[in-house]
Amino acid sequence: MARSDSSPLTRASQGQALTLEGPSYPCPLCWQGQLQPMVLVDAYGCSLCQQILLVNLDQQTVHPVDGSQPLGWRWQGHGWQPLHHPPQDVTLILWGLGGVLVVFPSMLVALGAYLFPPLEDTPGGNWSWGWAALTLILHGLMVTWVLVEYYRPPLYRLLRVRLERLLSA
């Protein structure tokens, strides 16, 4: 696919352009693997995470084939820039719901510990406050896990790929 010099993504203005015959590129999904061109298709394959990315050379973009989210990246000549950002209303709802799921159960347990304190001679008398702290920590971990699954940061993807390889060996 020939490109004209009037394109905003020329080699001179953006550095090295994205090509299927050129060198390998860093993977925008795991940040550790290298993208290699696939034969007979306009696609790259990652050497580490094994993802297949469709290439649009005119727009200098790649998109994963089997993604549930509309992910995409534009090649800037030196690195990748994300194309899609989640809508702000979904992000605010997700963070707000996560905060409620962490704080509300912990507040209920702490309120129970405050309103109904244990007797003075009871062994392990302050366990109810420990239970409230444990509730806060565990609910925080659950919400963090959901957020990490939603955003899928590159470090998480890398660790997940390495763990899958370790368990499959």
Q: Is pLDDT at 14 greater than 90 in this prediction?
A: no
Q: Is residue 102 one of the residues assigned to a domain?
A: yes
Q: Does residue 40 form part of some domain?
A: yes
State the pLDDT at residue 6: 40
SS3 sequence, the chain?
CCCCCCCCCCHHHHCCCCCCCCCCEECCCCCCCEEEECCCCCEEEECCCCCEEEEECCCCEEEECCCCCCCCEEECCCCEEECCCCCHHHHHHHHHHHHHHHHHHHHHHHHHHHHCCCCCCCCCCCHHHHHHHHHHHHHHHHHHHHHHHHHCCHHHHHHHHHHHHHHHC
More confidently predicted of 68 and 11: 68
> What pLDDT does 68 receive?
62
Q: Which pLDDT band holds residue 87 (cuts at 50, 70, 90)?
A: low
Output the average pLDDT for the chain. Answer: 80
**What confidence score (pLDDT) does residue 23 get?**
77
Q: Which of 42, 58, 82 is the last residue of a domain?
A: 82
In a domain, 141, yes or no: yes
- Quick: pLDDT tens for 126-152: 788 899 999 999 999 999 998 887 777
For residue range 25-78, list pLDDT tens digits in order: 888 888 788 888 888 888 899 888 888 888 888 888 898 887 666 778 888 888
Whether 1 is in a domain gets the answer no
Q: Which of 82, 99, 118 is the last residue of a domain?
A: 82
- Pair (143, 164) in one structural domain: yes
Residue 42 lies in a domain: yes
Instruction: Determine the structural domain holding residue 18 and report its residue range.
Output: 11-82
User: Does residue 43 share a domain with residue 92?
Assistant: no
- Number of domains composing the chain: 2
Do 97 and 160 have their domain in common? yes
| Whether residue 11 has pLDDT greater than 60 | no
Domain-located, residue 19: yes
Measure the CA–CA gap between 113 and 77, rounded to whole angstroms: 59
Question: φ, ψ for residue 84 (rounded to 5)?
Answer: -110, 135
Q: Are residues 151 and 103 part of one domain? A: yes
